[in-house]
Amino acid sequence: MGKKGLGLRVLKLLFVKLALSLFLLSLVWVLLYRWVAPPATLHMLKRRAEAGAAGKDAPQIRYQFVPLEEMSDQLPLAVVASEDQRFPDHNGFDVDAILDAFQRNRKGGNIRGGSTISQQVAKNVFLWHGRSYFRKAVEAYFTMLIELLWGKERILEVYLNIAEMGDGVFGVEAASQKYFNRSAKEVGRQQSALLAAVLPNPIKYSAQHPSAYVLRRRTRIARAMGKLGGATYIEDLLPEKEDK
């Protein structure tokens, strides 16, 4: 075997070792967050870094992880009704929503995504934001991992805790305390729908001083929550209550 052939063999071996190492690292990372609350997300760190780069004071990060059983059932229902109504049934990807977004984006105008709650968790917890095909491919990989290793209940729990709901306000507990002066366990349907209403752009839209547009979205989301059948629509995704 010549030097060139030996060099290619060494490169292939190194590539295989690197790919295997990255795969094992991703498994450990995902499994860790199956039971441990993320201390922070890459998106939280990015928000602070962006403020510093712009010469602004970094926003105070409000973030308090709470389990699903310490949230009102109206909160998970609101985000499912607003963001991903097929969440209980899909495997992490809503093909119909993806194709619909693709067709809409081809026609121009505002870019719309077809991301499920699972995809948003994969992106916000493990990845950077961007529109490259490479990032979308890695997002799909992490989406499959969390669907397989976490399950729907944990995905929904993490989403409700790491979704940005205001400038530097992450998760339903921090948002409920800031906007309603109560815990996430005490909010009702209208307040839950209001938090879900700002999710498309929590910097532009405010739950504290909602615009007419946000209030209209709140009404539509609250109506959708009722049409889905209320909390019974997601009862299989929620932990058992002690009083049941």
Residue 54's pLDDT is 57
List pLDDT tens digits, range 121-167.
999 999 877 777 888 899 999 999 999 999 999 999 999 999 999 98
Match 């997601």 to its residue by tokens: 234
Q: What pLDDT, on a 0 to 100 scale, did the predictor assign at position 51?
A: 64
Quick: pLDDT tens for 184-231. 999 999 999 999 999 999 999 999 999 999 999 999 999 999 999 999
Find out whether 37 and 161 touch, Cβ atoms under 8 Å. yes
The answer to whether the CB of 138 falls within 8 A of the CB of 127 is yes
Q: Does domain 41-52+60-84+91-237 have CATH number 2.60.40.10?
A: no
Please state which of the ranges 9-13, 36-40, 158-162, 164-168 shows the lowest mean pLDDT: 9-13
Looking at the predicted structure, is the pLDDT value of residue 244 above 50? Answer: no
Answer with the residue of higher pLDDT: 193 or 13. 193
Structure confidence by residue, pLDDT tens digits, 88-134: 999 999 887 777 766 665 665 554 557 899 999 999 999 877 777 88
**What stretches of 163-237 show up as alpha helix (H) in DSSP?**
172-180, 189-197, 212-227
Specify the pLDDT at position 58: 58
- Cβ proximity of 144 and 24 under 8 Å: no
Pick from 182, 146, 181, 149: which is nearest to 162 by CA?
146
pLDDT at position 149, please? 96
> Do 76 and 225 meet the contact criterion of CB atoms below 8 Å apart?
no
